[in-house]
Amino acid sequence: MTGPPKFPSFTAKFHNTSYPAIDPALPGLSAAGKNVVITGGGTGMDYSVVTVETCSNDHPVIGIGYATALSFATAGAASVTLIGRRATQLQSAKHAIEDSVPGSAGRSRIHVQSADVVDQEQVTAAFQKIADTVGPLNILVNGAGYAASPSNVKSANVEEWWKACEVNLKGTFLTTQAFVQHKVPDDQESVILYISSGLSHVARGTGNSAYAASKAGAIRFFTTVQLEHPETRVVCLHPGTIETDVLRKSHNVSGSVPNCDDVSLPANTMLWLASPEANFVKGKYIWANWNVEEMKARAAEIEGSDLLSMKLSGWPFTSK
Ligand SMILES: NC(=O)c1ccc[n+]([C@@H]2O[C@H](COP(=O)([O-])OP(=O)(O)OC[C@H]3O[C@@H](n4cnc5c(N)ncnc54)[C@H](OP(=O)(O)O)[C@@H]3O)[C@@H](O)[C@H]2O)c1
């Protein structure tokens, strides 16, 4: 579905669900031969934990990381490894992918590792085990995230505020560090994707200072990662508005959030971002809602300028 933009949009088309140009069946989006690691990939498929509190709809909430794993598995990735803290959730996700993507189970393509991304020892051990099992890594999707309970600065709980910074910044740093230590040699394609949030650059509403600041900080972190690793494509993505636990907590609601996008949109957009077609958005920050064909038509302009980069607005300071 394509509808009128809910937000100002870089492209004329503003998508709410997947569309043909990002279809995992496209040969140009094949992930064959790629080892993919997705943090926060286990949410949504353990139906036994879906309760009235966590899901008031008649469908289970499906996390963005899990949906992204499905896209990469569908596109034939050599391996997809899911990282999260809850082993049961991860196992459910693994079995759900193996059940829905033909050939996944028999070829042992789907792996899981429980780890808390803020714990260096756990992250180091998890990535060592992944690399020992599947070999050098090609693609990292940093999806693990935490939304602090909305609260204005005056009354915010400091532990809750800091937890968002720890997961969204320290956790992202640790998994990215481990990935670059285990990635394929520089002459082979490697990609780091970060699921940011529009709140990192759109100042709307109050009560989200921890989430917005940590997501914005991570964007700047990845600017440096891109400079240090020119051989790797590093891209940050606003995933759209997806009905998940993170979204409900950040909106302070226990029920449904209206007008959500379909989780297939960020999932398949990340598959596209991991393909050579997306080389022109290296080091950039895009929204999943934007049309990739319209962006491709402006590839040279995007690549050769500060377009779609985080910077001070209203001031013609260029970094090129
Ligand atoms: N939904 C949206 O509309 C939206 C919008 C903008 C950005 N995002 C971002 O999208 C990403 C995915 O979130 P989601 O919306 O799909 O929500 P979600 O289903 O709740 O996913 C969050 C994931 O992060 C994992 N996680 C949290 N803390 C962790 C930790 N310390 N160590 C390891 N894993 C951890 C969780 O697994 P465990 O609990 O098992 O560890 C869970 O799988 C997040 O970074 C979120 O900020 C979402």
Q: Per-residue pLDDT tens for 207-236?
A: 999 999 999 999 999 999 999 999 999 999
More confident residue, 44 or 160: 160
Q: Residue 43's Cα: distance from chain center in Å? A: 13
Point out the ligand 1 atom lying closest to the alpha carbon of residue 64.
16
Strand order, beta sheet including 139-142: 110-114, 79-84, 35-39, 139-142, 190-195, 232-238, 285-287
Tokens of 271: 């598959």
Q: CB 292: neighbour CB atoms within 10 A?
A: 23
> Does residue 195 have a pLDDT over 60?
yes
Regarding the beta carbon of 266 and ligand 1, being less than 6 Å apart is answered: no
- What pLDDT does 314 receive? 78
Where exactly are the structural domains of the chain?
16-303
Which one of 66, 167, 244 would you pick to mutate in the ligand 1 pocket, going by the greatest count of ligand atoms within 8 A of its CB?
Answer: 244
Regarding the beta carbon of 86 and ligand 1, being less than 6 Å apart is answered: yes
- Among residues 81, 57, 102, 103, the alpha carbon closest in space to that of 243 is found at 57
| H or E segment and range at residue 219 | helix 209-228
Regarding the beta carbon of 171 and ligand 1, being less than 6 Å apart is answered: yes
Mention the CATH class of domain 16-303.
alpha beta
Regarding the beta carbon of 208 and ligand 1, being less than 6 Å apart is answered: no
> Does residue 111 have a pLDDT over 70?
yes
